[in-house]
């Protein structure tokens, strides 16, 4: 009958509670606890793309870009067209100092979902750091517009910001980059 050395999967309700707890721990910045919870979820549900992406995020935050890439590659086998995977690949590239690859990965995420807020935000940050104000402004405005078009959408920007925080960051960055903004006055 197989699977003799695997413990039985917990009931779906228990797994859903674990997922909720893991996400809350991740949002609270309790990465070690979140990592352990997501590993437990993955043992119970080996096909959980969300758990693999969250484990990639935890690896990134721990400075393990190679580990993050392995988790993302594993998740991509089941969902190769998921924009979130390219977004996180972009974060991994940025963490290793490869801005060109980070930009490519975030652009791939936007190719798959033109309203993917985290990729717009990261491309805005990259463009601003490179002195490309018009591109940065466009990405921050696109992110803000996407949030207005889909209010209440879950924004996973590195797993640490809530939607209202991302909206505030986009507005502040766009204002600073716009002609006559803070940056122009300094």
- What DSSP character marks residue 159? G
Residues 22-58 as b/e (b if ≥16 CB within 10 A, e otherwise) read bbebbeeeebebbbebbeebbebbeebbbbbbbbbbb
Token pair in block for residue 76: 């991509």
Give every CB contact of residue 142 below 8 A, 6+ residues apart in sequence: 115, 120
Instruction: For residue range 48-101, list pLDDT tens digits in order.
Output: 888 999 999 899 888 888 889 899 999 999 889 999 899 999 988 988 889 999
Give every CB contact of residue 36 below 8 A, 6+ residues apart in sequence: none
DSSP H helices in the chain = 12-27, 31-44, 49-61, 65-78, 83-95, 99-112, 117-129, 133-149, 163-177, 182-185
**173 — pLDDT class (breaks 50, 70, 90):** confident
Cα gap 82→155, rounded to integer Å:
15
| pTM across the whole model | 0.75
Determine the pLDDT at residue 163: 63
């Amino acid at each position: 009958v197989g699977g003799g050395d695997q413990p039985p999967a917990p009931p779906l309700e228990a797994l859903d509670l674990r997922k909720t707890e893991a996400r809350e721990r991740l949002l609270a910045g309790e990465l070690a606890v979140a990592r352990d919870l997501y590993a437990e979820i993955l043992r119970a549900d080996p096909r959980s793309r969300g758990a693999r992406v969250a484990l990639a995020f935890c690896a990134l935050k721990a400075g393990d870009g190679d580990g993050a890439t392995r988790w993302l590659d594993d998740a991509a086998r089941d969902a190769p067209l998921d924009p979130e995977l390219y977004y996180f690949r972009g974060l991994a590239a940025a963490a290793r100092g490869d801005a060109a690859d980070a930009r490519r990965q975030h652009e791939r995420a936007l190719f798959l979902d033109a309203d993917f807020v985290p990729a717009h935000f990261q491309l805005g940050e990259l463009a601003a750091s490179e002195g490309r104000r018009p591109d940065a402004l466009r990405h921050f405005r696109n992110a803000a517009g996407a949030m207005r078009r889909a209010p209440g959408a879950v924004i996973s920007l590195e797993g640490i910001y809530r939607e209202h925080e991302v909206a505030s960051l986009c507005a502040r960055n766009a204002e600073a980059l716009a002609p006559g903004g803070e940056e122009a006055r300094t």
